[in-house]
Amino acid sequence: MKLSIIVPAYNEERTIRQVLARLAEVRLINNFDKEIIVVNDASKDNTEAVLFGFMEENPGLDIRYVKHEHNQGKGAALHSGIRQASGDYVIVQDADLEYDPHEFNILLKPVADGHADVVYGSRFIGGKPHRILFFWHTIGNKLVLTFLSNMFNNLNLTDMETCYKLFRADIIKGLTLKEKRFGFEPEVTAKIAKIPRIRI
């Protein structure tokens, strides 16, 4: 089994090396292999040079590179990464270091145990130490966006906007996704929720 890790990047020269180093360190449960797909959404800084330097220093790491000639948005970067993914499961890792890739195994466990097809992480629950979110950020994400998503899709998520969503590859590749910017999150959630007998 293999996990495809999509890293959308736009002007991430300060963090791309650290993110890739953390991804390289992660040991996945059940002997999952991993591939890393970095999608550079037309960065104007040195993201590409830093990435190429890391790839040269780590030739044994399975990293693929996709470059957009024009900035299209995070959703478009994810579309490109999903098309390139060859793994059995797909997850997104933002390049800004907000999320810790060592948590991948928490999301992989329900699918590896055969209990889920899609797993959503949450910044709002869990017994581990976590970053404190600003009050209005929490209200906007949890009480407005997630609430509306749950209401319209008949779900009970705690954090629809979380970066960490793990999908069975055949499911995410089978969706017709159109949103090219941050509308990707509600679009993918709504389309996943409509799949009969989906286990989220």
Degrees, nearest 5: CA angle 133-145-5: 70
47-52 long-range contacts, CB within 8 A, separation 24+: 47/9, 47/10, 47/11, 47/12, 47/13, 47/16, 49/13, 50/13, 50/16, 50/17, 51/9, 51/16, 51/17, 51/20
Q: For 16-66, how does the pLDDT look when each residue is reduced to its tens digit (9 = 90+)? A: 999 999 999 999 999 999 999 999 999 999 999 999 999 999 999 999 999
Pick the CATH number of 2-131+162-193 from 3.90.550.10, 3.40.50.2020, 3.30.420.40, 3.30.1360.80: 3.90.550.10
Average pLDDT score, the chain = 84
| Cβ-based burial of 163 (10 A; exposed 0-12, middle 13-18, buried ≥19) | middle
| Cβ-based burial of 158 (10 A; exposed 0-12, middle 13-18, buried ≥19) | middle
* pLDDT over 50 at 108, yes or no: yes
Rounded distance between C-alpha atoms, residue 15 and residue 81, angstroms: 19
Average pLDDT for residues 164-173, to the nearest whole number?
92
* pLDDT over 60 at 102, yes or no: yes
pLDDT value at residue 129: 36
pLDDT value at residue 120: 79
